[in-house]
Structure formats: structure tokens, C-alpha cells
Structure 1
């Protein structure tokens, strides 16, 4: 369950991310070595969500940032971000930091 008041951040110790055009490529690290079998590719929206969590942020702050970028209603955006976060947290891409 995602706590709307908690702080979340990308787990930079376990992933290296690079933006390539409109996509972002994420490579998991195992003992500080790239594990090419687990490469993740994010579309532009996924990349923007991930970039919004580069520093510790609440989900509400990220929703606010992305509302300024995308022409979408807040309810849909909130639902999409929560779904993204659930998957990202399951894969240890985003972690709770506070």
C-alpha cells in the first residue's frame, strides 16, 4: 500500500538509468555490475514519473509536478502513478525513504 504522506525515491544503489530520446533505459546492478538480463525500458511518461522521484518526494508532489506537464485529469494521473509505483516498488526501483 502506498502511503500518500510518505517519501519515496528511486533506488539509485540498485539501478542505473539513462534517458535515450523519449525513453529511459534502466539497468539493474548486482554487486555494482550491470545485470543486462533485467534491463527495463520506460516510455516518456514512465521516465517522467521516475525522474520526479529522483529526490525524495511524496506521491502528491509528483502528481502536482506531472499535472503541469500532461493534459490529463488528476484522478486518472493519480491512478496511473499509483499503479506505476506499485510495480516499481515490487521491483525495488522505487523505495520508501521516510
Structure 2
């Protein structure tokens, strides 16, 4: 999995936001506000070889159990795929 480079992560007034650029502005109207875990997932998508690796990274970074980390990864990455923000390599 790989981030769609038509979306940029920005910190605007203390909020972490994904903003569409380029061709994505034609398909996606708006911005996505991310919480701390979602921003962490986004930042680590390109380096992670699998969802399992993301789960491990979340457990290392945050004080959460495996089930919580897995739920966060499955839910957020699934939504990213659904909306074209993540692509298969």
C-alpha cells in the first residue's frame, strides 16, 4: 500500500488535515481532519509493508492493546482505500 501523492498532510491551526491537490481536487471536494493515530498511520503507510506492521508500530507508539490497534488500522486504512487516498503498489 502506498499513499496517494495527490493528498498532502498539513498542520493548520493545530489541526492535522489531509488536503487534496492536483487531480484529486476534481474527485474529492473538501479536507479530512485526522486524529493523532490517523496522522501516525498516514505518515507510516509508505514504509509499512503490511497492516500487521502498522499495528505493531501503533502498539509501540501508543499505549494500546493489539485489538485496539488492529481496529484502528483496519478502519482507517479501509476508509483510505475506499476514497482513493491509498493505492496498491
CA deviation vs aligned residue, 1:31-77 (integer Å, no higher than 9, x gap) = 37698832111111110111110335311111111111111110121
What TM-score, normalized by structure 1, do the two folds share?
Answer: 0.74
What TM-score, normalized by structure 2, do the two folds share?
Answer: 0.80
Cα distance in 1 for residues equivalent to 2:42 and 2:13? 15
Name structure 2 gaps, 5 residues minimum: none
In structure 1, what is the equivalent of residue 81 of structure 2? 89
Which is richer in strand?
1
- Greater relative contact order (CA < 8 Å, ≥ 6 in sequence): 1
Cα distance in 2 for residues equivalent to 1:81 and 1:51? 13
State the secondary structure of the residue aligned to 1:63: helix
State the secondary structure of the residue aligned to 2:40: helix
* Contact persistence 1:89–1:95 (CA under 8 A): yes
State the secondary structure of the residue aligned to 2:18: strand
Cα distance in 1 for residues equivalent to 2:14 and 2:36? 5
In structure 1, what is the equivalent of residue 44 of structure 2? 52
| Count of residue pairs brought into register by the alignment | 89
Name structure 1 gaps, 5 residues minimum: 1-7
| Superposed CA RMSD | 2.5
In structure 2, what is the equivalent of residue 70 of structure 1? 62
